[in-house]
Amino acid sequence: MRAESVETVRRILCVFPRYTSSFGTFEYAYPLMDGVQAFMPPQGLLLIAAYLPANWPVRFIDENIRPATTEDFQWAEAVFVSGMHIQRQQMNDICRRAHAFDLAVAIGGPSVSACPDYYPSFDYLHVGELGDATNDLIARLARDTSRPEQQVVLKTADRLDMTSFPLPAYELAELERYFLGSIQYSSGCPYQCEFCDIPGLYGRNPRLKSPQQITAELDKLLECGIRGSVYFVDDNFIGNRKAALDLLPHLVEWQKKTGYVLRFSCEATLNIAKRPEILAGMREAFFSTIFCGIETPDPVALKAMHKDHNMMVPIMEAIQTLNRFGMEVVSGIILGLDTDKPETGAHLLEFIDASQIPLLTINLLQALPKTPLWDRLQRENRLIEDEGRDSNVDFRLPYEDVVQTWRACMGSAYQPDKLLARYEYQIRETYPNQIRRPRTPQQSSWANIKLGLTMLRNIFWKVGVLGDYKIQFWKFALRRLARGEIEYLISSILVAHHLIKFARDASGGQTNASYYSLKLQEASVPAE
Ligand code: SF4
């Protein structure tokens, strides 16, 4: 559903801020692709854009693709911004630029919902999810678009049921410019890991869309130009196991109908390994990657952070189970835990070798507001507000030692030969377990062949000729070519190249050690 129509017409400019360069946004892969410039289309802002009254013209700008221009600001009567903590500086910068045109600016999304005080300059703060606060904001703008004298904070008390969510306005985004498509089926997670703000922000009882909404969204994503992969951004795909089971047959049917043109990925807790019926459905629906917050291989640390559910199946056994269902595991890892010891880094590297997981996002612990960790550290007087630091946590081990361990782990885990050996393992042990997709006209279409050839040319030239790990690359690439594994060659190298390059920046101290770090390293986007 949309907001009720109002007589007054308002032109709304939705601006999504640039990401600070990060491990998880894959920007080193973009030049190897064909016109990709950004990571994922922002669900929240496109949802709000779709919810606005039908007679309000909306313009959507993702500043990862191009900056909002003078003409955009002159066109608009009000500006909407949304984003995560990591985009805080860029969001404040958009607000400053919009104010130069005397426009009222509203901010919503996860960062402002957790930390309203990060955004003192905005005119309207939309705290919480789509609901009565959104209707209130629309009504206020319909009455008057001038900037209010004081900041207005609107908090959602009554959330819109997710089954009433409109399809996100994908038609406003240039979907072919994104590395991945995104979709959301559920929101919230029943667990309460100490460091995580999801249960506090979105609740412990997952809210759901209907399977029919999801297949309609997939149709729309395809129509609007998405290709390759779509990521379920749900906080935990099995937060409600029955709902996951209900959805999967619809996804399978959709894949059969459309010829398996998309592959899926998602985030889920590792105890999914205990649910072969869900894994079988996921395999059939062509889920090929699953992100699990393993966090640490240390059982004592898992217990301390209330993530015991990671130990329901021995970790290594769980990873192998997922691999047997054709899914490559991506793992989140946290360093700087209270239980860490000087030998934690060495244990992590042993775990990476043993698990053969190619991609691990290794972060320093950061205390987020609205988490049990934040409350505990506040009680213990161990929160440090210092924007020059990579974490706001006063670690048990010396800060420099923790950061050094992080750098050393990044440097070692992503050495080209080690990383490509882990991909070699996946090609041998995981990918062959994926569902055999029927050949479709789409796969052998000229557009698809041209896309593959463009990526191969970019990879051979930029990595094989100009790159600085040529020997390891060609060893890996020639084996793929000899076996006709062109698709594996492209998909592995796209990701591996980003990881190798980013890890080098990281071990050289040129990037933040925490995805959530407030250490601001990226220049803001200049106004035209
Ligand atoms: S399982 Fe994941 S989403 Fe749920 S509380 Fe833990 S870290 Fe957060």
Q: Measuring from atom 8 of ligand 1, which residue has the nearest CA?
A: 196
Give the pair of three-digit tokens for residue 232.
Answer: 């379920």
Cα(350)–Cα(259) distance, integer angstroms = 40
Q: Say how many Å lie between the CA of residue 192 and the centre of ligand 1.
A: 6
CB atoms under 10 Å from CB of 128, counted, come to: 19
Look at the block and give the residue holding tokens 């594994």.
485
Q: Say how many Å lie between the CA of residue 182 and the centre of ligand 1.
A: 19
Compute φ and ψ for 159, nearest 5 degrees.
-80, 145
Q: Measuring from atom 3 of ligand 1, which residue has the nearest CA?
A: 235
| Cβ neighbours of residue 292 closer than 8 Å, sequence gap 6 or more | 267, 268, 269, 270, 272, 318, 322, 329, 330, 331, 332
pLDDT at 24: 83
Q: Say how many Å lie between the CA of residue 236 and the centre of ligand 1.
A: 7
Mutate to test the pocket of ligand 1, among 184, 189, 192 (most ligand atoms within 8 A of CB): 189
Kindly give the number of the ligand 1 atom that is closest to the alpha carbon of 190. 4
pLDDT band for position 21 (50/70/90)? confident
Kindly give the number of the ligand 1 atom that is closest to the alpha carbon of 196. 8
Cα(292)–Cα(160) distance, integer angstroms = 29
Compute φ and ψ for 363, nearest 5 degrees.
-120, 155
Interval 211-222: pLDDT, tens: 999 999 999 999
Q: Say how many Å lie between the CA of residue 269 and the centre of ligand 1.
A: 7
Cα(442)–Cα(449) distance, integer angstroms = 10
The letter for the amino acid at 304 is: A
Q: Say how many Å lie between the CA of residue 204 and the centre of ligand 1.
A: 10
Q: Say how many Å lie between the CA of residue 433 and the centre of ligand 1.
A: 28
DSSP single-letter state for residue 397: S
Kindly give the number of the ligand 1 atom that is closest to the alpha carbon of 199. 5
CB atoms under 10 Å from CB of 523, counted, come to: 10
pLDDT band for position 514 (50/70/90)? low
Q: Say how many Å lie between the CA of residue 222 and the centre of ligand 1.
A: 30
Give the pair of three-digit tokens for residue 205.
Answer: 């009882």
Do 84 and 62 contact (CB within 8 A), yes or no?
no
Do 367 and 200 contact (CB within 8 A), yes or no?
no
Going by their DSSP bridges, the two strands 228-232 and 262-267 should be labelled as parallel
Do 131 and 157 contact (CB within 8 A), yes or no?
yes
| Cβ neighbours of residue 418 closer than 8 Å, sequence gap 6 or more | 353, 412
Kindly give the number of the ligand 1 atom that is closest to the alpha carbon of 191. 5
Residue 37 in this model has a pLDDT that exceeds 70 = yes
Give the pair of three-digit tokens for residue 493.
Answer: 């190298």
Q: What sign has the CA pseudo-torsion 503, 296, 20, 397? A: negative
Interval 183-201: pLDDT, tens: 999 999 999 999 999 998 8
Look at the block and give the residue holding tokens 């426009």.
103
pLDDT band for position 526 (50/70/90)? very low
Cα(389)–Cα(404) distance, integer angstroms = 13
pLDDT at 512: 66
Q: Say how many Å lie between the CA of residue 97 and the centre of ligand 1.
A: 36
Q: What share of the chain is helix, strand, coil (3-state, %, to 5)?
A: 45, 15, 40
Look at the block and give the residue holding tokens 């640490």.
296
Q: Which residues pair with 126 in a beta bridge?
A: 154
Cα(254)–Cα(520) distance, integer angstroms = 43
Ligand 1 binding pocket (C-beta < 6 A) is 189, 191-193, 196, 198-199, 235-236, 269, 293
Kindly give the number of the ligand 1 atom that is closest to the alpha carbon of 197. 8
Mutate to test the pocket of ligand 1, among 186, 193, 516 (most ligand atoms within 8 A of CB): 193
- Please state the rounded mean pLDDT for residues 432-458: 89
pLDDT at 513: 63
Cα(163)–Cα(185) distance, integer angstroms = 10
Mutate to test the pocket of ligand 1, among 191, 204, 308 (most ligand atoms within 8 A of CB): 191
Compute φ and ψ for 60, nearest 5 degrees.
-115, 125
Interval 83-140: pLDDT, tens: 998 899 999 999 999 999 999 999 999 999 999 999 999 999 999 999 999 999 999 9
Mutate to test the pocket of ligand 1, among 186, 187, 195, 196 (most ligand atoms within 8 A of CB): 196
- Please state the rounded mean pLDDT for residues 338-344: 96
Residue 521 in this model has a pLDDT that exceeds 60 = no
Judged on CB neighbours under 10 Å (0-12, 13-18, 19+), 153 is: middle
Q: Say how many Å lie between the CA of residue 20 and the centre of ligand 1.
A: 24
Kindly give the number of the ligand 1 atom that is closest to the alpha carbon of 195. 7
